Amino acid sequence: MNYSVQKIGQILHALTQVEGTVVTGISFDSRNVQPGDLFVALVAENDGHHYIAQALQHGAAAVLVDDQHQIDTNIPAVIVPDTLIALQNLGQYRRNTINPKVIAITGSNGKTTTKDMTSAIMSSQYKTFKTPANFNNEIGVPMTLLSMPDNTEVLVIELGMDRPGQLTLLSQLVRPDIAIITMIGEAHIEFFKTRENIAKAKLEIIAGLKKDGILLIPESEPLLTNAHIEGKVQTFGENVTSIVSEISETKFTYLHTRFAIPLLGRYNIMNALAAISAGILLHIELENAVEALRHFDLTKNRTEKLTTSHGVNLISDVYNSNPTAVAAVLATLKIIPATHKYVVLGDMLELGEQAASLHACLAQTVIDANVDSVYLVGPLMKKYLYPILQQRFDSAHLHQYETDQLAELIKDLQTLGENGDVILLKASHGIHLENVVNALVK
């Protein structure tokens, strides 16, 4: 990004001042401003206009402000009616100017892992840029577009949603050539009420799909395969053979080619197949995809395999959680060879009025996993799952903690298990089990 204040004003049809100033980056958080950035004063829970002075002190070259706030005429500025809309319009301009092939990814689970896999595959033959961290909402998506290098040939971008209409906006911003829906789960069911409504909302990803674009969907999800979808649709997930799951990797054969991914879990094969399918559409050689998936970089806390100081294997999957995701990871835990297996489950959030039944329904899944002990965290687990599991586990093998008792949980887990044993941790991010993980691997 290398735009003058005058150029940005022209792009946004906005008023400007001190027009000759050039910006080389962008930030909406005054604490993270780098010299040369355009500071975007967003109006949200905290009004970004209150932090303009701090942003300038950190080196912001110019500011993007709304016309409801006064600003010193000596400060390089672009003045607009709405800074969020302006940020989105500026991001869309950059997307169209660079004009890379765009692969947009959404889904109830697996979208970040699929993004990482897809980016690795594309990087084997193209100059590729991907969504940083989880910048996948109305702010993060345009920030991703504006952070994209000038020479980007393929953009792999993650699109999140928690309400109807959100994916329509994001898809129209990025105008994908390829759109991927990883799966339909119960995430955000508090707001959508049914999985059918979630599927409908996920299908908004085709709102901005190019005329000749292609939507990739899992062949095992009837809510998608049976939907009436306009445009080209391809499925992924078929014809996979010779699956071998191990603690450090999962192997499978697809299109007569042997793949290995550094993740446990058969559900991650579906993420890999989505990425491979996108690669095939952009003419990636299969041998390049094999090598890319063998060593790809995974975003932290997505089915991450770690080891404690005394050799216990940790499976950290603590960024989000819902019943479908919990069932999938517990099914994987069941087939992992280990002398002892332990599971730590934290509350699944944003399930609304279905929270009681969806937590309770985990009981049989936990029992079927054949674990030695269960550690539950949070009021939902305590109220709805703990009483059912008490019928199967005695007090020495079933433990319960409030969300403010993570220190006690850490203490109990630090001496748990021996070399080669496995501890699985799974919860919604709001339970903050990442703090437990960090303490165990110190």
On whether 30 is known to bind a ligand per the annotation, the reply is: no
On whether 268 is known to bind a ligand per the annotation, the reply is: no
Rg (CA), the chain: 23
- In angstroms, the CA 367 to CA 374 distance is 10
Alpha carbon 288 to chain centroid, angstroms: 24
Q: Which residues pair with 314 in a beta bridge?
A: 306, 423
Alpha carbon 298 to chain centroid, angstroms: 11
- In angstroms, the CA 71 to CA 12 distance is 19
On whether 107 is known to bind a ligand per the annotation, the reply is: yes
Query: Angle formed by the axes of helices 140-147 and 166-174, to 10°?
Result: 10
- In angstroms, the CA 87 to CA 230 distance is 30
On whether 109 is known to bind a ligand per the annotation, the reply is: yes
Alpha carbon 248 to chain centroid, angstroms: 21
On whether 134 is known to bind a ligand per the annotation, the reply is: no
Q: DSSP assignment, residue 384?
A: I
The closest alpha carbon to 360, from 389, 399, 325, belongs to 389
On whether 113 is known to bind a ligand per the annotation, the reply is: yes
Q: Which residues pair with 433 in a beta bridge?
A: none
On whether 419 is known to bind a ligand per the annotation, the reply is: no
Token pair recorded at residue 167: 């994916």
Q: What b/e readout covers 259-279, taking b as 16+ CB neighbours within 10 angstroms? A: bbbebbbebbbbbbbbbbbbb
Q: Is 325 helix (H, G, I), strand (E, B) or coil?
A: helix
Cβ atoms of 102 and 122 closer than 8 Å: no
- In angstroms, the CA 418 to CA 190 distance is 40
Binding-site residues for ATP, please? 107-113
Binding-site residues, please? 107-113
